[in-house]
Amino acid sequence: MTTRSSPRGQQQQPDGAVRQSQIVTTFGPGSMLDLLNDAVLVGGLDFWCYDKSLAIPHIDEPRLRDAIVERFRQLGRELSHEYPFRGPPAGNDREPTRFAGIQVLEYPQWFVCQNPSCRALMRKDGLELKKHYYWHACSRAASAECVPVRFVLACPRGHADEFPWIAFAHEFQQRPRCASPSLTFEEGATGDFNEIRVHCACGGSGRMVDLIGDGLTLHCRGERPWLGPQGKEECQEDAKLLVRTASNSYFPQVVSALSIPDPSGELRERVRAVWDVLKSATKENLPIFRQIEKVRLALEGLGDAEVLRTIEALANDRPVTQGPIRTAEYQQLTTSEPELPGDLPPLGAKFFARTAKPRGGLPAGVAKLVVVPKLREVVAQIGFTRLEPVTPDVQGEYDLGVKNAALGLTTNWLPASEIYGEGVFLELDERIVRDWEDRDSVIERGRALCAGYDAWASDEAPPFPGVRFYLLHSLAHLLMSAISLECGYAASSIRERIYCGPSSRDPTPMAAILLSTGTSGTEGTLGGLVDQGRQILEHLQHAFDLGRLCSNDPVCATHSPEKDHAERFLEGAACHGCLFVAECSCERFNRYLDRALVVPALGHPADLAFFEVRP
């Protein structure tokens, strides 16, 4: 997928390229990106250009639309019925066109001269553009290349703004602004943040370190430059200094769903096929409409009650069936048919799962193994934040009351991507999980983890996920590490999906994990992961060995989330030496982890672990 910036003369070549799957997450609308010659802000959905000679890459997943439509409605907009999701536009590097790709904005627009004896800080309109670079005329005889300044302003709601450099060197320092500001940006010999100062020729000067902590407070102006000139909105948040390439500059909010068989989907499509007739149907006139030939054929075998429920749901743009995304997936996976010799997925199938009997059987505590040779996951981005990520609930969905940044102003669709691959589903024994949750040691550990969560959580955070989630998440990480050494896939190409439904607050108790291939198009269809799933006992034994002792023990094992000066409030016994994996593999940024809940660890009672002995 190619990107292009605002036109410079008649430039035709794209300014850079990004993989299509990344544009839905890491480098989505509103993200700040360093290209080869530019620092840019990725444009919103209104600035996505699709080649008119090619079909628009529409992506269909009704269950995912049903889960998102209420959030879209909360923003005062409607989500398209027919085409709610689109893949990013594909570019052609060999024959690039200005009408296919994503427009990006040069951002920030303040640059620093790289001449050590100059270090001028100027807007780009005061510089000369030559050969894709901006140059500053330091003197009549010499000029030097300039680079974008590395600081901008941002607020948690996603707004981004240029830092007020002139005001910082004058008004912020209680000095009147001079008639002709001339700024220099000094970083010191090491570039340390404490040494960065901004000077003006008039004598005004400010230290960047004064903006940290309880320093200067800046009000957010509600700027949304990725949405164009009309993007500005009111904002009551305080703006904070942000390094444009920092990891907290962009937190995409994504929701995903597996393409599982959906009985309600067929019902919805059958009613929609004759919607021109049925949109005005009532209990009284539906029998009359059934006498029409095309309606009779479409509704054959369906009762009046379910047809009327579907008509009402479609008319009000509500889901035909209620229930969280992951609960439906869990029910589908746990009711999969037994695997038979020679059992192959149908041609073109998007989902195919079978309950398997692994070699060596299943250990105590594990109820079921399901192999999934065919798997399709649709991932859609609904918004983003900066500075602080928004935490989804245990179903992977976001609270409708949480404010986020919009991806577009006038579009009625969302960016999405498809991932095809395979997976292994492991369900724990619900009865044993409940008995484990009732142990005194587990209750006490849960209290400590909850105290750490409360110290971290904001007012908009969902409830504490519970020790069951920590158990499942930690087990998933240990298994990913164990399996990746044998299955032939890179560790970063295996992804987790947690199915957690505590029996105390969920009508469908769940305790399961799905490990799947996470790279579309290359790794994901070779069958290696499914084959390793049939050897799950060996991998559980290996995971037990990996988790029992960490190279950072006893420091790692005895870490307390409620008494942590490093502010690691969301981890128990977890670190880079034992549980952390690549962030593209983890749903929760390597948080909510504690291996002491899975296997025995130093300094903890043996009955705290779900697997007290080696499987």
**Considering the chain, what percentage of its residues have pLDDT values greater than 90?**
46
Contacts of 4 (CB under 8 A, 6+ apart): 14, 15, 96, 98, 101, 102, 103, 104
Please answer whether residues 34 and 155 qualify as being in contact, where contact means their C-beta atoms are separated by less than 8 angstroms. no
Tens digits of residue pLDDT in 427-446? 999 999 999 999 999 999 99
Question: CA 543 to CA 578: how far, in whole Å?
Answer: 10
Taking Cα atoms as reference points, which of 421, 407, 384, 419 lies closest to residue 517? Answer: 421
The number of helices, as runs of H, and strands, as runs of E, in the chain is: 14, 26
Q: How far is CA 80 from CA 45, 316, 385, in A?
A: 14, 13, 24
pLDDT at 4 over 80: no
| Strand 414-428, strand 85-86: pairing | parallel
Q: Report in angstroms the alpha-carbon separations of 376 from 20, 194, 257, 350, 564.
A: 17, 49, 9, 6, 40
Return the higher-pLDDT residue of 587 and 132.
Answer: 587
The confidence score (pLDDT) of residue 518 equals 64
Of the given ranges (201-215, 249-263, 488-502), which has the lowest mean pLDDT? 201-215
Contact 610, 561 (CB under 8 A): no
- Cis amide linkage into residue 108, ω under 30° from 0: yes
In contact, 153 and 32? CB cutoff 8 Å: no
Taking the model in full, what pTM does it have? Answer: 0.86
**How far is residue 392 from each of residues 254, 383, 397, 414, measured CA to CA in Å?**
9, 13, 5, 18
DSSP states of 527-593 as a string? SHHHHHHTTHHHHHHHHHHHHH--TTTTTTTT--TTS-TT--TTBSS--TTTT---TTT-TTTT-SB
Structure-model confidence comparison of residues 401 and 144, the more confident one: 144
* Main-chain phi, psi angles of 385, to 5 degrees: -135, 170
Give percent of the chain above pLDDT 70: 93
Q: pLDDT tens digits for 17-42? A: 888 888 888 899 999 998 877 899 99
Checking if the pLDDT of 10 tops 50, the result is no
Give the whole-angstrom CA distance, residue 510 versus residue 330.
Answer: 7
Banded pLDDT at 121 (limits 50, 70, 90) = very high
Residues 6+ apart with CB under 8 A from 292: 274, 277
Closest of 213, 182, 212 to residue 198, by C-alpha: 182
Side-chain half-sphere CA neighbours of 606 within 13 A: 3
Q: What is the mean pLDDT of the chain?
A: 86
Taking 50 as the threshold, does the pLDDT of residue 181 lie above it? Answer: yes
User: pLDDT digits over 363-420, tens only?
Assistant: 999 999 999 999 999 999 999 999 888 888 888 888 766 678 999 999 999 999 998 8
Average the pLDDT over 106-117 and give the result. 92
**Which residues lie closer than 8 Å to 82 by C-beta, 6 or more apart?**
none
Q: Which of 260-264, 314-318, 463-467 is predicted most confidently? A: 463-467
CA distance 183 to 120: 6
Instruction: State the residue for tokens 């269950």.
Output: 63
Q: Does 412 or 189 have the greater pLDDT score? A: 412
Q: What is the mean pLDDT of residues 297-306?
A: 81
